[in-house]
Amino acid sequence: MAFLITNTVHLNYCINRNSMKLLTQWYFILTFFMMGAINAQEIAILKYGGGGDWYANPTALPNLIAFCNANIGTKINPEPETVETGSVSIFKYPYLHMTGHGNVFFTDEEAQNLRTYLLSGGFLHIDDNYGMEPYLRRELKKVFPDKELEELGADHPIFDQRFAFPDGLPKIHEHDGKRPQALGIFDQGRLVLLFTFESDLGDGWEDPEVHNDPEEIRLKALQMGANIVEYAFKS
């Protein structure tokens, strides 16, 4: 009898704990929608586990934000916040940016949190700085086990926002001699996740002295980044 009581109490505790987690998550989802008009143009950096350098390219996103605010009429906070994958704080931001080299790891709870965020109206842009692609594909299966990354054709609207890219995703930095690819995950026709691969947009957004890119290359990277931001905020 004592065993039964103990296990019943533990079960009730687990149910109540999980219920509180769900209530907290749904509170932030509702807040996400209610505050949409206020935070409709905010971007945060996604911090993930696995040992990859989620903090790579520290000047990239601030430079892209400055370019967007100056050229496409956004009013994004010039100093983006950092949020963790499993945190309810991600629901405060309609746009998350993720980058790095090497390993990526999501716990099951983090994967579920990210899935809920994306299906609730959020958008995630992942820019492969180099080397994260095989790990990312593995982890995205936790987030969307029933979905595959699909390549966006050059006729996708994301390439024809404020700036025209008739050939699709531009090549910014060369690594392995592969063509640049824009890969996406869709939900009911909406692009919820964009993975830019073999392009390295973030390197092009960095301060000029970091990579010594020609100005036309930096401009191309910033313009493509602005297109992504504009498209995400409209969708």
Amino acid at 31: T
- pLDDT at residue 174, rounded to an integer: 79
Nearest partner of 193 among 218, 163, 158, 154, judged by Cα:
158
Distance CA 77, CA 107 (A): 29
Question: Helix or strand or coil: residue 128?
Answer: strand
- pLDDT at residue 22, rounded to an integer: 56
Nearest partner of 122 among 83, 158, 94, 154, judged by Cα:
94
- Give the orientation angle of helix 60-71 with respect to helix 215-234, to 10 degrees: 70
| pTM for the structure as a whole | 0.85
105 alpha carbon, distance to own chain's centre: 14
Question: Domain map of the chain by residue range?
Answer: 1-34, 37-234
- pLDDT at residue 27, rounded to an integer: 55
Q: How many residues does the chain have?
A: 235
Q: What is the pLDDT along the chain (235 residues), one digit of tens a residue?
A: 443 444 444 444 444 555 555 555 555 555 544 444 445 689 999 999 998 899 999 999 999 999 999 999 999 999 999 999 999 999 999 999 999 998 999 999 999 999 999 999 999 999 998 889 999 999 999 999 999 999 999 999 999 999 999 999 999 987 777 899 999 999 999 999 999 999 999 999 999 998 888 999 999 999 999 999 999 999 8
- pLDDT at residue 31, rounded to an integer: 53
Q: Listing from the earlier edge strand, what are the strands of the sheet with 123-130?
A: 81-84, 43-47, 95-101, 123-130, 190-197, 181-187, 150-151
Question: What CATH number matches the domain at 37-234, 3.40.50.12140, 2.40.110.10, 3.10.20.10, 3.40.50.300?
Answer: 3.40.50.12140
